[in-house]
Structure 1
């Protein structure tokens, strides 16, 4: 099998309006769709971030049921040249950086949380090369 990428990533949230404000307004991800009382979807580069209400999707009958609880983790990749600017921009927007990690020479990442306690990370291109 030959995979090209992970196309969709899901987070499970308890407030779609809050998720929309955070991911669309603060993280500046374009809104793809929103279905009240079910989900809100965002464009993230050439991938999609799906935010679902777990109490709804765990009882889904049209699609396989899915849900999760607790601190989920995803990392967003940014161009290496934009990394420090994005870090500053998020800090200026009131985002608290909870951890910085040096991975290898000239490659570091930083972590922060969304309003639901999910652990988000910004990584520069080259991280996994």
Structure 2
């Protein structure tokens, strides 16, 4: 038995409108689901980014309760050759790059935060190969 991929990843946020403005408005992730006062779902390549309000989802009755607090980390892989374009777009949109790291394979990644302080990363293909 094997798995194909991680299909969805959760972030827990405080303000869905701010998250929508950031992930959809600034980063361009298409919205595929939105329920006011509960969640925002976004398409990211072949995966889904779920943004939940933790004070709501920790009280779930139908689904298993889930929530988290703190600086959750997610890395987004960009297509070959687009890494520098993403860095440029961050600067143009006023998104502060916190740190850029050069890894063993001489590949680089950079870190930034969403409005809730979640730590996000842009990585090129091959970083984990």
Could you say which TM-score interval applies, normalised by the shorter chain?
over 0.9
Whether 1:43 and 2:43 are equivalent positions in the alignment is yes
Corresponding residue for 1:95? 95
- What does 1:9-24 correspond to in 2, within 5 Å? 9-24=9-24
SS at match of 2:103: strand
Gaps of 5+ in 1: none
Corresponding residue for 1:52? 52
SS at match of 2:67: coil
CA distance in 2, matches of 1:128, 1:65: 31
- What does 1:1-129 correspond to in 2, within 5 Å? 1-129=1-129
Shift of 1:104: 2.4
SS at match of 2:21: helix
SS at match of 1:96: coil
Gaps of 5+ in 2: none
TM-score, normalising length: structure 1: 0.97
CA distance in 1, matches of 2:89, 2:106: 20
Shift of 1:41: 0.4
Shift of 1:123: 0.3
Contact 1:80/1:126 (8 A) holds in 2: no
Give CA deviations for 1:15-45 in whole Å, capped at 9, x if unaligned. Answer: 0110000000111000001001100000000
Give RMSD over aligned pairs.
0.8
SS at match of 1:34: strand
